[in-house]
Chain A
């Protein structure tokens, strides 16, 4: 029997990856999409630019030799260590990542090492700051003729689009540091659907409970947990369809109090499938013989 009996719905997702914790338990994380990464980067850049301008202005007005020296060092520190400083202090998050709910983690599941944070952000020199300075200055001072400018442009594009072309969404910095960026997992625990009293009014035969599998059960769970505004009509429809499908003797009665009927059916069906699970048999869906 596989130790993973059932996986959450989004497990089929292309961006979901397994991380094995040092305790040896597999935990699933979802990689951040390129668009989310871009959003976080834009936020961070905006913050960084505002901070640089603020420090720059302060330096200008502070005057005095000491003030200007400190200002220059602060500018250098901000520009070079904004990302790594925050990722070190906030456990793999910059302000932009925090706002968009992203986080840098070790690809192999261990501790996020400081050297890895430094390494992944040093690569921004060529991934971010070089393209930016080309965009601003048009490549002057870096590439002197058309050929070297073309080479530079290709190189910059390769780096910039690297995350889109590999399936782990790694940018060069992530490759160098052995990290990747994930979406912070945050689902909430909703109330249990099954209580002792659930379904006292309904009875289902073994025959009726062998129609559906785990997949259908979890779709039903989703229906039962959906927001109550849209639930009524949906429940009525689903109840009728289930009643017909399993050959419930009295479909009209089922539809009459659809919510109660579905809860009862959910409880009975889950009980049956979980009992089967205990014997090492897992019926994936209604087609699973």
Chain B
């Protein structure tokens, strides 16, 4: 008796398509989509859709378990190849700078405001407290961080510490790279800690503010506020912005966990998390600029007025970029 199984006939008719897709998918898995020539690339989505429809048909008419699991797996693999990370790096970077980054930063304005306010509160608290009681300085700035800048130093020593650094000029690039990687590491930590409902991020931000405030008090009590301002201005606005952006990214994560609104918590977290990652990448960029300004600019530009000008000029340029670049 001749057996014309519908499912066997169906398989015979379609198998060619599946094998072709399998070969293409195997190649993309091994060498990436870029390894396909134009004709194969055009074929991939067609074959993928044909196989998906084949899967739907097979589920309705066939009881061959091997065939079904093969089609299922092939569809899943092809789906991953067709819908993977597809944009080319160049296009990705262009889109990032043209609108993704500024849009994400604008979208995080509430978190940025909160982080900036907490940092400012830290600055003011430590500044006022240290002005009243210099003994508190050591608890705001750990002795390891002071580098000789404390209330035991004379005004003259403090003034000298603002002028140059011990690094000779040919060490500056290394110094800048060290500053960048160190600070960006702190920023990323502050970001990731935001997952714990944002609390550690806020503490870290406040603590950073405290250090700055105590520093300001130290130099003010020696009548050196203006030169310190120049010393800090050249990289400070950019570096503090980077810290605030990192913290804002972290707060976005914490906020999504705490205030999910009507969305399921995980859905909201995933949406906010991706925006937060873009903000954090912006922060890494700012850390790089700040590292260059601090490592190179501060050692090469010694005039206080010029320091103010360069530092705040860069800050103004960054601010206008974040505020006005891209569609709003």
Contacts and interface: CB of A to CB of B under 8 A. Distances in A.
A29 B76 contact: yes
Contacts of B15: 189
Interface string B40-79: 0000000001001101100111111111111011111101
Contacts of B55: 25, 27
Most chain B C-beta atoms within 10 Å of own C-beta, residue among A90, A113, A116, A178: A178
Interface string A166-197: 00001010011111000011111110111110
B277 A115 contact: yes
Interface residues of B, number: 81
Interface residues of A, number: 93
Most chain A C-beta atoms within 10 Å of own C-beta, residue among B4, B100, B281: B281
B61 A114 contact: no
A1 B60 CA distance: 9
Q: Is the interface of B mostly helix, strand, loop or mixed?
A: helix
A100 interface: no
Contact of B184 (A76, A175, A186, A196): A76
B123 interface: no
A187 B178 contact: no
Contacts of B188: 80, 122, 125
19 contacts: A10-B69, A27-B79, A72-B174, A87-B85, A113-B274, A115-B278, A116-B273, A118-B281, A126-B192, A176-B195, A176-B253, A176-B269, A178-B267, A184-B77, A186-B73, A187-B72, A189-B19, A189-B67, A271-B3
Given A72-B174, A177-B270, A277-B61, 7 more contacts: A9-B65, A21-B75, A115-B274, A116-B270, A125-B189, A185-B76, A192-B67
Interface of B: 1-8, 11-12, 15, 18-19, 22, 29, 32, 49, 52-53, 55-56, 59-70, 72-77, 79-81, 83-87, 92, 100, 170-171, 173-174, 176-178, 180-181, 184-185, 188-189, 191-193, 195-196, 253, 266-267, 269-271, 273-278, 280-281
